[in-house]
Amino acid sequence: MPQQSPALLFDTTTTTTVFVHPLVLLHILDHHRRRPAGSARVIGTLLGRFDDSGVLVEVTNAFAVPHAERGDEVAIGKDFNKTLWALLQQNSSKQQREVIVGWYSSSPLLSDTSSLIHDFYSTETEDGNPVHLVVDCRLTEENAVTMRAFHSTPILVQGETLGNLFHELPLSLRSNEPEAICVSEMIKSMNDNNETTEREKPPLQISMEQLYELLETACTYVDAVVDGTTPPDTEKGRHIADALATVPRMRPDAMDKLFHESLQDLLMVTYLSNLTQTQIAIAEKLNATLDLQ
């Protein structure tokens, strides 16, 4: 992806950063997979939220819209868009109301039809400046699924619109905690498919091993700096110092007390739940005999 300098492009307008949630990407890829035979790309509506300051667009949801392209002509399912949007609005809660923020397409090309579709979405969004998200599903560029976001401004010559100029916007994936959990879960299940033979380690062990690995990396770095083989970096040093400072210093007796207290709590709960289970088992047996009377 060519990295254009933001200063070159956005000196006249405010820079808008686009955040895309993984759900949207999954939806686009799924939709692309289900495209009608013969069509090169699919389009759809992006839903999300605009930040008050206008520097941030968060794309949280998307839905597919059928369309057909023939040469320079394009037909968009306008009614479809309207109906589905109305349906989706029925169940979104008040405080987290999503609005139409733009549209996506699964082809890497910005063609003439793109600006036609963009014009349509200008009328759909509130501020008339939709975001266009392009996801490249060909896997040719960098051998990865690449995505880019665009804004467009009309080129005016003596008051006449000649065309649209698409600006690229900075784009980033963003996920909240549950989404991140889902994604890491998906990555894990994908790896499981490849190597089913490997036995699943307890999760706690995995976490600890990773923690040790990180500590090891930090140690080698610090050692290298002390030996003089690596030039010191104040920022890194500060980060390490910060991390070390978060380890609570405790007196051994206070530590012991804490340890025993939490252990006792946990054991107590285990005891209670076991007791309940036993009681339930007895109650069940009694209940079963009721039929036999």
Partner 1 sequence: MAAVIEASERISQVHIEGLALMKIVKHCHESLPHMVSGSLLGLEVSGGILEVTHAFPFPDSRAAAGSAAAVSDTMEGDQDGHEYQIEMMRMLREVNVDNNCVGWYQSMYLGIYSTSSLLENQLSYQTDLSPNAVVILYDPMQTTHGKLALKCYRLTEECIRLKENEENAFIDPRKIFEEVPVKLTNPGLVKALLMDVADGVHDDSSNLQLFEKEHNTNRLGSSTVKTTFDRLDLSTNPYLEKHLEFLCGWVDDLAVEQQKMQFYARQLHRDKHRRKDSSAGDAWASSDAPRRMESLLITNQIRSYCEQMNQFTSEGIEKVYLMSGMQKKD
Q: Which is nearer to partner 1, 157 or 286 (CB)?
A: 286
Q: Restricting to residues 108-127, which ones interact with partner 1 according to CB under 8 A?
A: none
Can residue 100 be called a binding residue for partner 1 (CB under 8 A)? no
Q: Which of residues 242-281 bind partner 1 (CB under 8 A)?
A: 250, 255, 259, 262-263, 265-267, 269-270, 272-274, 276-277, 280
Work out the angle at residue 118's Cα, subtended by the Cα atoms of residues 80 and 65, and round it to the nearest 5 degrees: 25
Window 46-75: residues binding partner 1 (CB under 8 A): 56, 60-61, 64-66
Q: Amino acid letter at 144? A: A
What are the residue ranges of helices labelled H in the chain? 6-9, 22-33, 78-90, 112-124, 177-194, 203-227, 234-245, 252-289
Applying CB under 8 A, which of residues 110, 116, 182, 222 lies at the interface with partner 1? 182
Dist CA 118 CA 134 (whole Å): 12
| Token code pair at residue 145 | 């699924």
Of the candidate residues 10, 99, 108, 179, the single one contacting partner 1 (CB under 8 A) = 179
> Does 137 participate in binding partner 1 (rule CB under 8 A)?
yes
Which C-beta is closer to partner 1: that of 106 or that of 113? 106
Q: SS3 sequence, 113-131?
A: HHHHHHHHHHHHCCCCCCE
What residues contact 15, with CB distance under 8 A and at least 6 apart? 6, 55, 169, 170
Q: Which is nearer to partner 1, 188 or 223 (CB)?
A: 188
Size of the site for partner 1 (CB under 8 A): 89
Between residue 219 and residue 248, which ones bind partner 1 under the rule CB under 8 A? Answer: none
What phi, psi does 197 have (nearest 5°)? -70, -30
Contact 147, 29 (CB under 8 A): no
Interface with partner 1 by CB under 8 A: which range of 125-133, 181-189, 217-225, 230-238? 181-189
Identify which of residues 144 and 156 has a Cβ nearer to partner 1 in the complex: 144
**Shortest Cβ 160–partner 1 spacing (Å):** 35
Amino acid residing at 19: F
Contact 43/77 with Cβ under 8 angstroms?
Answer: no
User: Which parts of 185-214 interact with partner 1 (CB under 8 A)?
Assistant: 185-187, 189-190, 203-204, 206-208, 210-211
Per CB under 8 A, contacts with partner 1 among 3-22 are: 3, 6, 17, 19, 22
Residue written as token pair 């054991």:
267
Side chain identity at residue 276, one-letter code: T
* Shortest spacing between CB 106 and partner 1, in angstroms: 10
Under 8 Å between Cβ of 112 and 72: yes
| Among the listed residues 52, 142, 195, 235, the single contact to partner 1 using CB under 8 A | 142
**Closer residue to partner 1 (CB): 217 or 262:** 262
Nearer to partner 1 by Cβ, of 3 and 14: the residue is 3
77 binds partner 1, rule: CB under 8 A:
yes
The upper half-sphere exposure of residue 243, i.e. CA atoms within 13 Å in the direction of its Cβ, equals 11
CB of 160 or CB of 242, closer to partner 1: 242
Element (H, E) at 149: strand 146-157
- Given the rule CB under 8 A, which of 161-169, 219-227, 234-242, 284-292 is the region that contacts partner 1? 284-292
* Alpha carbon 47 to its chain's center: 14
